[in-house]
Structure 1
Amino acid sequence: MKAARIHAYGASSEIRIEDAPLPMLNDDDVLIRVVATSVNPVDWKIRKGYLKAFIPYEMPLIMGWDVSGVVEKTGPAVTRFKPGDAVYSRPDIARNGAYAEYVAVRETEIAFKPATISHVEAASLPLVSITAWEALFTTANLTPGQRVLIHAGAGGVGSIAVQLARAKGAHVTTTASAPKSALVRSLGADEVIDYHAQDFANVAKDMDVVFDTIGGEVQEKSWGVLKPGGMLVSITDRPSEDRAKAMGKRAGYVFIGPNAAILKDLGQMVDLGQIRPLIAAEFGLNDTAKAQDFSETGRATGKIVIYAGHP
């Protein structure tokens, strides 16, 4: 099969499009013929070696931990899926990923693809949707009527978070540049703060939840917009528990793993029209390096998708 692999950590020039062996299947694995995958910041952070102390990869490595495709083959212990099924997943990040024509994924990490969207759209959803879901609902326990501030509402995670929070019945405020204001409002934002023209810390007040997708100074300022007892939940820098306790507020941090149950529920929301994927750009497998370079700019509106095959 064709795959985009790295043989050493480094720049995007390390990515090689080359022949690779088909993945070996464990008894509980499903072999997925990849139609599309997508780029997440964790991909190029791994490529640069930022996570090598956390996850010791063997080289060569295939990145890409989002996938939508068609079941090609199943291991003998698999019972829920059969060849020909359309599926999607956020596979185990410790294994080879989906920048390839085929990927092996555990049955427990897979859900049926939403019926009303394409494989390209479905491939954009798993990692960012699980991230937003676990931050807003599992960790922050966002409930109807609460006020939430979501940073970077036009980004990959933020665009899904805005939609999930709106579907939950929360009052949604988000930060975005002025040209993206109409877009994030169409996703469900009640209020949009143009971060170029306004300091969100002077505008947002009495938030029950702040979802930090940026970190650094943005996270630091976010404490001030929370009401007493409110939660700051981040996917970048871990907020200080001591700081939260001293202020009478709460801190949360999310680093996700596979979660097929969330993908099943998300698929139902997609098919009901409550969630729509937001695609920033599409690349072919041969242009995987360019796709990662674009992701590194931080300017993508929505998700960057890579075609790996055909439906």
Structure 2
Amino acid sequence: MDSIPNQQHAWVNLRRGEPAEALEYRADWPVSKNLEPGEALVKVHAAALNPAGYKLMKFLPNFVANRPLGDQVFGWVRSDHMRLTNQGALCQYAKVREDWIAYAPSNIPLDEVAGFAIVGITAHDMTVKNADLQAGQRIFVNGGSTSVGAIAIQIAKSRGVHVTASASAKNEAFVRRQGADEFVDYTTVSLPEFLWQRAEEGRKFDYIFEMAGVTDPSMYTQSDSYLSPMGFYATVGPQPKGLYLSEIWNLMKTTLFWHLPRVLGGPKAPFKLVCLDYQREDLEQLQRYISEGAVKPIVDSTYNFKDTLQAYERLMNGKIAGKVIVKVNIEDN
């Protein structure tokens, strides 16, 4: 610990608002050296920005780091820990629980793996822990160009699954590079109608994974016609674009149909809201996915530490494919 400074460079959330208003760059932020049993202090190399960061202004990024002893690791910072320690990952040194980190795969750059933990765990939860995908099954991924959607496609293909995925036309090449067998442009067709047509052709889906955070419940309410009898509809959860009446109304309808029994008109297919269900072995499985070449993390863009506000602007623009990475290592900036 003697070689670790007492102060560090960090972006600190001091007030409410958008990142440009809420964040302040500090060069004198204290380093948390008092470690409890089961905690580790990591030197952060790069951090990934997540939408929750600017929506709640409570940092919830992944990070890649070097421990003081030299082990290269990747992992994440839990939101409750951030509230207790007043520390996220946009700093040079981060104190975390040891079970939130795992050895980083050696076959890809640290910057790339920085954005993998949270999206990788979420995709793994959906495709493996909830669905237990098997070779020969068929799935539909709505939001194939999102970070979670892209990783879900890769995991599904590694298990021999046929994948149909949606995105806008400009992201078709990106989605197909992840391994999607069939692509649909959601801006030109009705997705429920498209799925129904596939079912009419004898190609029902075993699972539907909603990764885009849409609030319109129609894809679920009509799912009995295009889901197999044992299938289900899983979602990362509706993510309203604002407090508009249409968005609020769609949220209310989604909640209603989610809980509505079939005898009262609700769909037969189960509705699963997949929240982060983290276990240490999940992070270790992600490491194996990358090391074996089954999955490759996706980086949209990389920014220097002092350009974090520009990185948030890129994230908030919404037109990204992959993770937005901030290189925290001051020596490289």
TM-score normalised by length of structure 1: 0.86
2:38 is aligned with 1:38 = no
Which range moves more in the overlay, 127-136 or 241-250? 241-250
Distance of 1:258 and 1:273 partners within structure 2: 22
Give the secondary structure class of the aligned counterpart of 1:247: coil
CA, structure 1 residues 189+298, in 2 after alignment: closer, same or farther (shift >3 Å)?
same
Please give the root-mean-square deviation of Cα atoms over the aligned residues, in Å.
Answer: 2.0
- For the pair 1:264 / 2:284, whether they are aligned, the reply is yes
1:210 aligns with 208
- Establish whether residue 26 from structure 1 lines up as the match of residue 36 from structure 2: yes
Aligned to 1:242: 259
Contact 2:122-2:275 at 8 Å conserved across structures:
yes
Which is worse superposed, 135-144 or 98-107?
135-144
Number of residues paired by the alignment?
Answer: 287
Aligned residue identity for 1:284: N
Of 3, 25, 31, the residue aligned with 1:17 is 25
2:300 is aligned, of 272, 280, 288, to 280
Structure 1 segments of 4+ aligned residues over 6 angstroms from their partners: none
Shift of 1:244: 6.9
Letter matched to residue 84 of structure 1: G
| Residue 295, structure 1, aligned to residue 328, structure 2 | no
**Alpha-carbon distance between aligned partners in 2 of 1:276 and 1:218, rounded to the nearest angstrom:** 31
Hey, what does 1:130 align to over in structure 2?
121
Task: Report the AA paired with residue 220 of structure 1.
Answer: S
Pick closer, same or farther for the CA change 1:259–1:45 going to 2, 3 Å: farther
**Could you report, residue by residue, the CA deviation over 1:187-234 in whole angstroms, capped at 9, with x for unpaired residues?**
110111011222222222422111112334554324424333321111
Counterpart AA for 2:11: A
Return 5+ residue gaps in structure 2 as ranges: 1-7, 239-253
The answer as to whether partners of 1:282 and 1:304 remain within 8 angstroms in 2 is: yes
Q: Could you say which structure has the greater relative contact order, defined with CA pairs below 8 angstroms and 6 or more residues apart?
A: 1
Q: CA deviation at 1:69?
A: 1.2
Alpha-carbon displacement from aligned partner over 1:129-185 (angstroms, at most 9, x marks no partner):
001111222223332222111111111111111101111221111111222212211
Identify the residue that residue 220 of structure 1 maps to in structure 2: 218
Q: Is the 2:11–2:91 Cα contact (8 Å) retained in structure 1?
A: yes
| 2:271 aligned residue | 251
**How far apart, CA to CA, are the structure 1 residues paired with 2:132 and 2:293?**
23
Aligned pairs for 1:27-66 (under 5 A) are 27-47=37-57, 63-66=59-62
Match of 2:13 in 1: 6
Q: Deviations over 1:71-128 (max 9, x none)?
A: 12xxxxxxxxxx1000000222212221111111111111100110111111010000
% of aligned pairs identical?
Answer: 26
Please say if residues 90 and 259 of structure 1, whose CA atoms lie closer than 8 Å, have aligned partners that are also in contact. no
Cα distance per residue 1:12-68 (max 9 Å; x no partner): 121111021102422211111000010111111221xxxxxxxxxxxxx7x243011
Letter in 1 for 2:211: T
- Cα distance in 2 for partners of 1:178, 1:15 equals 35
| Partners of 2:154 and 2:179 within 8 A in 1 | yes
CA contact (8 A) 1:143 1:170 kept: yes
Q: Distance in 2 between matches of 1:20 and 1:175?
A: 44
- TM-score, scaled to structure 2: 0.81
Letter in 2 for 1:116: N
> How far has the Cα of 1:9 moved from its partner?
1.7
Shift of 1:297: 2.0
